[in-house]
Structure 1
C-alpha cells in the first residue's frame, strides 16, 4: 500500500503543528519519522493512519481517500501502534493481541493462527496467559506490537515502539519491523534513536517545527547540518561492520558553531 500525504497542514489553536507537509511511504520499505519533541511526528502518523483529518491537504491509500475505502476496510489494511503502551483493562496478553483481529470478522481458525504468528514474532508467547497488569513497560509495548501485527494489514504505523525497551529488545523490534517491510508491508515508524534509524530504515523524513526539513536515504538526511537544524546538537558519525552509526554528541549553544 502506498501511503501519501500531500500539502498537509494542521493547526492547534494559534499554533501550526504541521505546515504544508508532503511525503510518501511505499510497500517493502521502512520509513522513519524523526524530529525533536513537538515537531509533529505523532500528528503526522495519526493522519497517515486515518485517525485524524488534516485542516488542509490530503491523505491517500493507493490513491484513495479514507472515506472512499471505508472505515472498516481501512481498519483491516492499516495497523496503528500508539506510543506509551497504555492498556486500560486487566486482560490476558492473548486477549489483547486478539483485539487486532476485530476488523476482520474471520473464522476462528484463521484468527487463532494470525494471533499465534503475531505473538511469536513479537516474542510474547511465553506470557500469553499473564494479565497485562503484571507486565513491565517493555513487555507491554511488545504485546501491543503483537496486536498490531495480528491485523496483518498492508501498512503498519508505529509510534516510538522501542521507547520502553532495553537495547536487546530495541534491536529485535527494529529487525522485526524491517522483516515485516521486506514481506511487502508499508512500515512507518516514529523514532528518536538516530543510530537505529540510520541502520534499519530505508528512508527518513526529518521534521523541524512542523515542516518537512529533509527526506531521503538515512545518511543523506542525518547530515550534521540537518541534525543541527532539527535538534540543536552536534553529532559523531561513522561505520561499523559496513553500517552507519550517528551519535548526538553535544548541544549547540547559542552563538556556537
Structure 2
C-alpha cells in the first residue's frame, strides 16, 4: 500500500494526499504544468518535498537509501538519454547491475523483454543508431527489468507509434495484475480511460479529484481544466473521445 500524505513541493505542488494499492493502475493526468512530474519525482526520490510523507507500507520512501529504493521502484522517466556507443543488449545487461541476478537470470529476463518490446531485430545494434521511438522502447525495457513492486512511468508513451503505445500500456497493466502498483502520467485521455483503474487529476499543483475514469473525466473537468469540449464514443475496450477546443470570446 502506498500512502501519500500532505506531500508538497514549493511553487510546484500543493499538499497532496491519497492512497493506492498493489494491483492498481493509477493514471496521473492534467494539463501542462499541473504538477504530474513533480509528484512522480517525489515518489522516485529525485525531488525532496518540503512537507509530507510517502509511505510504502510502514517504510518511509523519502528516507530510503538509494539501493533500497532501486529494489522497490521501477522508473520510466519522461526523458532518457544514452551517449555510449553500445548495443541494445549491452545496455540491458548494464540495467541488471545490482539486481542480484545470476547470468542465467539475466539472459532469460533480457530475452523476454526483447520479445515483449519488439526489440529482437535491434538486439545487436548500437542504441545510437536507433530512431527516437526505438530508443524510447529500449529505455522502457531497461526500467522494467527491475521487478520492484512500485512502477512509476512519466509519459512513457511519448515518442512511440500507436502500436507500441498500446503494447507498453498493456505491459504496464500486466505488471499491475501480477501484483505491482503502477502509477503512470498520461496526456492521452482515451488511453487513460482504457488502461487505468483510477485517475488522479491535477491542475496548477492541486489534486482536483481521484476516482474512476467515469468519475474524473466529466464534461465539467474537461471544460474547466483542459478547456475542451468532447464527443464521447464507447466500445468494448473503453471510452474514446473527439475533442473540440473552447475558443475564448474576445
Q: What range is the shorter-chain TM-score in?
A: over 0.9
Instruction: Return the match for 2:58 from 63, 68, 84.
Output: 63
Is 1:113 the counterpart of 2:112? The answer is no
CA shift in 2, pair 1:28/1:254, >3 Å: farther
User: In the alignment, is the contact (CA less than 8 A) between 2:23 and 2:176 conserved in 1?
Assistant: yes
1:8 matched residue in structure 2: 7
Query: What CA distance in whole angstroms lies between the structure 1 residues aligned with 2:93 and 2:223?
Result: 43
For structure 1, which segment, 35-44 or 21-30, has the greater mean C-alpha deviation from structure 2 after superposition? 21-30
SS in 1 for 2:12: strand
Change (3 A) 1:219 1:246: farther
Query: How many Å separate the matches in 1 of 2:59 and 2:185?
Result: 24
SS at match of 1:54: coil
Of 181, 199, 220 in structure 1, the residue corresponding to residue 176 of structure 2 is 181
The answer as to whether partners of 1:208 and 1:229 remain within 8 angstroms in 2 is: no
- What is aligned with 1:97? 92
Kindly state the Cα deviation for residue 204 of structure 1 after the two structures are TM-superposed: 0.5
User: Paired residue for 1:206, among 201, 207, 220?
Assistant: 201
* Structure 2 unaligned regions, length at least 5: none
Displacement of 1:89 in angstroms is 2.0
Specify the SS of the correspondent of 2:47.
coil
Change (3 A) 1:102 1:251: farther
Structure 1 runs of 4+ with >4 Å offset: none
1:76-91 map, 5 Å:
76-91=71-86
The Cα offsets for residues 13-46 of structure 1, whole Å up to 9 and x where unpaired, read as xxx2100111223211111100111111111111
Choose from 227, 236, 242 the match for 1:232.
Answer: 227
Deviations 1:26-67 (A, max 9, x none): 211111100111111111111111222101111111231136
Q: Are the aligned partners of 1:76 and 1:103 in contact in 2 as well (CA < 8 Å)?
A: no
Matched, 1:52 2:51: no
Q: 1:69 to 1:168 in 2, by over 3 A?
A: same
Residues matched between the structures, number:
250
User: Does the residue aligned with 1:173 lie in a helix, a strand or coil?
Assistant: helix
Contact 1:34 / 1:207 at 8 angstroms: preserved in 2?
yes
**Alpha-carbon distance between aligned partners in 2 of 1:173 and 1:27, rounded to the nearest angstrom:** 19
Q: Which residue of 1 aligns with 2:185?
A: 190
Q: Which runs of 5+ in 1 are unaligned?
A: none
Residues 67 and 57 of structure 1: is their aligned pair in 2 closer, same or farther, counting only changes over 3 Å?
closer
Of stretches 39-48 and 57-66 in structure 1, the one that deviates more from structure 2 is 57-66
Deviation at 1:7, TM superposition (A): 0.6
TM-score by length of 1: 0.91
- How far did residue 68 of structure 1 move? 5.7
Structure 1 contact 199–244 (Cα < 8 Å) conserved: yes
Is 1:163 matched up with 2:149?
no
Partner of 1:138: 133
